Amino acid sequence: MTHKKQTLGEFIIEHQASFKYSSGELSSLINSIRLAAKVVNHEVNKAGLVDIIGQFGETNIQGEDQQKLDVYANNKFIQTMTNRNIVCGIASEEEDDFISINSQDEKHQNKYVVLIDPLDGSTNIDVNVSVGTIFSIYRRITPIGTPVTIDDFLQKGSQQVAAGYIVYGTSTMLVYTTGDGVNGFTLNPAIGSFYLSHPDMEFPEDGNIYSVNEGNYLDFPLGIKKYIKYCQMEEDERPYTSRYIGSLVSDFHRNMIKGGIYLYPKSTKNPNGKLRLLYECNPMAFLAEQAKGKASDGFTRILDIQPTELHQRVPFICGSKNMVEKAEEFMREFQ
Ligand code: AHG
Ligand code: MN
Ligand code: MN
Ligand code: MN
C-alpha cells in the first residue's frame, strides 16, 4: 500500500490548532523560514560551482571571518521575515545587535521574535561538507505596540515556542518542534517541496557515538577528560565510536538518529565554550528535550540558564539521555 507523503505546508496547517497559543502568525513564520531555507539551499548547493566560497573580508562580532554564504544566508532569512511582516524582532549570530521590526501599517503588532544562526558550520563550506541553519522562536514579553527591547531576546530557553534547524546535507532537511515532539521534512529538490520523512524523531536513550573536538583535549576540564577516557574504554558496549563533523547541526542530527552525545566543553582557549547560548544551544536543547534527549552545560539544564547577553557562549553537552547523564556524573565527580 502506498502512503501519500505529507508536505511541510500541509503539516503546518494541520498542526496549527495544537499550538499552545494557536495563531496563524506562528504558522506564517515557520512558512517564511521554509521559504528562505529553499533559497539558501539553492545557493549552498552552488557553492562549489560559482566562486562564492571564501572570506567575505569582514569580521563579525564573534571575531570570526565571515564567509560569503554566512552573509548571504543572514540577509536572506532576515529579508524574508521582514518582508512578510510577521516578526517584531530578529537577532542573529552575524549581527552585532538585535533588529527591531516596525511593520508599516500596524505599529509593532507582531508577537514573535526570532534568533538565528544563519549558517552553522560555515568552515565546512569550502570542503563540500554539510552545513546548517538554526532558528529559535519566542513570544515577545514587552507590550505589543512598542518596539522590542533586549529583554525580548534574553529569555530562558524554556520559554521557546518553536525551534528547529535545516541541514544542507546529502539531502536537505528541515527539522523542527513547536513543543509537541520533533518532526523532520526532506526537500525534494525536483519539486521544491519538503515532505514529512521523519515523523516523531527521538534520541535513542543510549548510544555509542561521541562527538567532540579532541584536538582540544589537553585544555578540557578534568571531568570531560575522564568522560572521554570512559568512552574509549573496552567495557560493556564501549569503546564508543568517535564522529565529529564540525557542524553542530550535522553532528546533532546524526546523534539524534543513531544515538550519541555531542560535547563542546570549556577550555583554556574558550573559557565559556564556543557555542552560542541563544543561536545554537537553546534551540538544539529544546529539540533534544522534545526528542527525549538531554542538554546541559555539565551541571545545569541549558534551558534553565538565564541569558545575560546576546552573543553569550556556554559549554554544551547534548544527546541521548543516559549518555548526557553519565557525562554530568563525571563533571560532578571530577571538578
Ligand atoms: P558557526 O559556523 O555558526 O560559527 O558555528 C561553528 C560551530 C559549530 O557548528 C561547530 O560544532 C563548532 O563551531 C566547531 O568548532 P571547532 O572547529 O572548534 O570544533
Ligand atoms: Mn560563525
Ligand atoms: Mn553555528
Ligand atoms: Mn553561523
Give 101-150 pLDDT, tens digit per residue: 986 666 778 899 999 999 999 889 889 999 999 999 999 999 988 999 99
Is 64 annotated as a binding-site member?
Answer: no
The percentage of the chain sitting over the pLDDT mark of 70, rounded to a whole number, equals 92
Amino acid making up residue 102: N
**Domain final residue pick, 198, 229, 260:** 198
CA atoms within 13 A of residue 210's CA, in its CB half-sphere: 24
Distance CA 306, CA 297 (A): 13
Is 120 annotated as a binding-site member?
Answer: yes
Same domain, 267 and 181: no
Q: What is the pLDDT of residue 2?
A: 45
The pTM for the full model equals 0.95
Q: Is residue 322 part of a domain?
A: yes
Same domain, 49 and 107: yes
Same domain, 92 and 25: yes
Same domain, 276 and 147: no
| CATH number for the domain harbouring residue 266 | 3.40.190.80
Same domain, 175 and 266: no
CB 318 within 8 A of CB 288: yes
Distance CA 47, CA 332 (A): 44
**Residue 146 gets which letter from DSSP?**
S
Same domain, 174 and 220: no
| 143, three cell numbers | 507590550
Instruction: State the average pLDDT for the chain.
Output: 92
Number of structural domains the chain divides into: 2
**Domain final residue pick, 146, 163, 198:** 198
Question: b or e along 224-246 (b: 16 or more beta carbons within 10 Å of the residue's beta carbon)?
Answer: bbbbbebbeeeeeeeebeebbbe
Q: What is the pLDDT of residue 45?
A: 87
Same domain, 39 and 159: yes
pLDDT tens for residues 2-30?
457 899 999 998 888 766 665 688 899 99
DSSP string, 160-180: -SEEEEEEESSSEEEEEESSS
CA-based nearest residue to 11, from 184, 141, 132: 184
282-290 vs 248-258: helix axis angle to the nearest 10? Answer: 10
Is the predicted pLDDT of residue 33 greater than 60, yes or no?
A: yes
Same domain, 224 and 96: no
Same domain, 251 and 117: no
Is 93 annotated as a binding-site member?
Answer: yes
Is the predicted pLDDT of residue 46 greater than 90, yes or no?
A: no
Distance CA 182, CA 287 (A): 7
CA-based nearest residue to 176, from 154, 194, 152: 194
Distance between Cα 120 and ligand 2 center (Å) = 7
- Average pLDDT of span 212-223: 97
Which among 264, 267, 281 is the best mutation to test ligand 1's pocket, defined by most ligand atoms within 8 Å of the CB?
A: 264
Is the predicted pLDDT of residue 281 greater than 60, yes or no?
A: yes
Same domain, 165 and 22: yes
ipTM here:
0.97
Q: Residue 68: pLDDT band by 50, 70, 90 thresholds?
A: confident
Q: Is residue 291 part of a domain?
A: yes
**Residues with a CB atom less than 6 Å from ligand 1:** 64, 93, 117, 120-122, 213, 246-248, 274
Domain holding 217, by residue range, is 209-333
- Average pLDDT of span 26-37: 93
Q: Residue 1: pLDDT band by 50, 70, 90 thresholds?
A: very low
- Average pLDDT of span 44-71: 74
CA-based nearest residue to 236, from 206, 274, 279, 201: 206
Q: Is residue 204 part of a domain?
A: no
Q: What is the pLDDT of residue 113?
A: 97
